[in-house]
Structure 1
């Protein structure tokens, strides 16, 4: 079973809306090396896992796959914040009068000139399961050979390529909302590289010669450097509420490719508060009109009153 805690795994820093940045970030969500792919690949490898003696490796896959669900949640929410073009948004004071975010008369005009128009036409200023050029996410991306070594090698390559692409995305925009999310994912990708590289080492695979991890020097990004100082790249979460995960038998010892840093596991991060975005009248969504809302509230009050009534028993 999976449980949902209504907190984001990382804080989304507020900034001005930027539909173009949102569209670039779609690659990190629905692209071939994006978060939807890593989520589905690791979970399917977990579901199809065979061999009780190799359970620590299955538990490692389960923990990373579960974390990837939170990454999909984080990046999708970030895209929604970046596509927020409502005139209710408090835009910059020097914005043109007719620019969404200022207080103009054409609230969705930026959909015609920036980013992906489907963010507005189809998604109501929200994320879509597509890549940066609008190709739908495909289940054919998922690799699950059934061979543990092959799967781990493929996963290591997937994390390395995903981190490389996120470094490129980081340098495409100075928007703080985009960079806060991308920097976090860059560091977590590095943690997952450590996980799969370490797992391969325990299986006798010299991954450094087989598949060298590319050097991105992402630590020069200020947000990334801050997270690295906290050791976020050497920690892996198990998300195991019953504390039965054996992933710690694999994710331990000296980190691969690092200078003597030690790997450690933890159940789950504390997370950050999750706010529900305000309604967007210009998108005609979600559409709770006053009459319907009044009916919902009346029904809820009636059900609450019935629940408070004492139970009466009758003799047959």
Structure 2
């Protein structure tokens, strides 16, 4: 059973729209080694897990898989922010050009930057595709049923994803892109450490292999700030009832930072979620005044009901 807290797992720093950067980031979302893949792979491995005596490993897979849901939310929202805007139009309905009026065209950059489907199909939002538009596929998911094989494959997946995110960081100086990619670089290293530690408990000696790629990426200032917080050596259980036993696997030093130890926590604090403004040029969300009034009334009613005290039983 899952619960949703309406907070983003990491802050998305505002910057100018950049459809090209958004398209590069699609690889980290819907690519073969992207966040949709890690989310589905780890959750399916945990759902299909067998052997009660190996519960700490199941809980590790379940905790990281749950975190990956928040990574999908983070990276998809970042893509939408990078797409949110176009030349000569920044969300002001009064500046929309009338057809054939001779002015600027609000969606003209859809023809020359990034993926045209972001504008033509997705209304300036993320899509479940890779950077060249190939749809995400369930065939990416690896779940052999063998614990050692699955952990090895997961470590390879995190390492490849981290390698690609380091490359994406180098592709753009856009602060919106870099704030999200930097966080994911560090968390991918944390997951590398987690799977490596799990494999160590099964007899694998990593020596000097990790991290992959062979850098802690501290030369990236955004990454350095997160490393100062020890985020690469922290694992989250996302266990509301505190029944996770994943912490049993973290009793010694970090596989990639030999002088540091791994730690566990229930969940990160996160940051408030902001809902993006409407896009009139995309007819999104397309609410007329009557519908807007209905939506507002419904929202106010739900808020009032949520604030009412819960009453149990009855009085006579």
Q: Does the TM-score normalized on the shorter chain lie above 0.5?
A: yes
- Please tell me whether residue 71 in structure 1 is matched to residue 71 in structure 2: yes
Runs of 4+ in 1 over 6 A off after TM superposition: 209-212, 299-306
1:288 Cα offset (Å): 0.9
Q: CA RMSD in A?
A: 2.4
Distance in 2 between residues matched to 1:55 and 1:302, nearest whole Å: 43
Check 1:209–1:190 CA distance in 2 against 1; reply closer, same or farther (3 A cut): closer
**What is aligned with 1:197?**
196
Q: Deviations over 1:126-155 (max 9, x none)?
A: 000000000000000000000000000000
**What is aligned with 1:62?**
62
**What is aligned with 2:311?**
none
TM-score, normalised by the number of residues in structure 1? 0.88
1:1-316 mapped onto 2 (5 Å cutoff): 1-86=1-86, 87-89=89-91, 105-208=104-207, 213-297=212-296
Q: Deviations over 1:255-302 (max 9, x none)?
A: 013131010000000000100001000000111100222344567789
Distance in 2 between residues matched to 1:291 and 1:266, nearest whole Å: 46
**What is aligned with 2:312?**
none
Distance in 2 between residues matched to 1:178 and 1:300, nearest whole Å: 32
1:208 Cα offset (Å): 4.5
1:107 Cα offset (Å): 1.1
> Is contact 1:85-1:110 (8 Å) kept?
no
Q: Deviations over 1:95-122 (max 9, x none)?
A: xxx9xxxxx7311111111000000111
SS of equivalent residue, structure 2 residue 263: strand
Q: Deviations over 1:173-225 (max 9, x none)?
A: 00000000000000000000000000000011234489984313511111111
> Is contact 1:157-1:211 (8 Å) kept?
no
1:237 Cα offset (Å): 0.4
Distance in 2 between residues matched to 1:196 and 1:15, nearest whole Å: 35
**What is aligned with 1:93?**
none
> Is contact 1:57-1:199 (8 Å) kept?
yes
Q: List runs of 5+ in structure 2 lacking aligned partners.
A: 98-102, 309-316
Stretch deviating more after TM superposition (169-178 or 297-306): 297-306
**What is aligned with 2:313?**
none
> Is contact 1:164-1:216 (8 Å) kept?
no
TM-score, normalised by the number of residues in structure 2? 0.88
Distance in 2 between residues matched to 1:30 and 1:36, nearest whole Å: 6
SS of equivalent residue, structure 1 residue 265: strand
Distance in 2 between residues matched to 1:123 and 1:221, nearest whole Å: 31
Distance in 2 between residues matched to 1:296 and 1:154, nearest whole Å: 46
Distance in 2 between residues matched to 1:154 and 1:63, nearest whole Å: 17
Distance in 2 between residues matched to 1:212 and 1:184, nearest whole Å: 16
SS of equivalent residue, structure 2 residue 235: strand
Distance in 1 between residues matched to 2:221 and 2:211, nearest whole Å: 25
Q: Deviations over 1:50-101 (max 9, x none)?
A: 00000000000000000000000000000000001252359xxxxxxx9xxx
Distance in 1 between residues matched to 2:237 and 2:48, nearest whole Å: 18
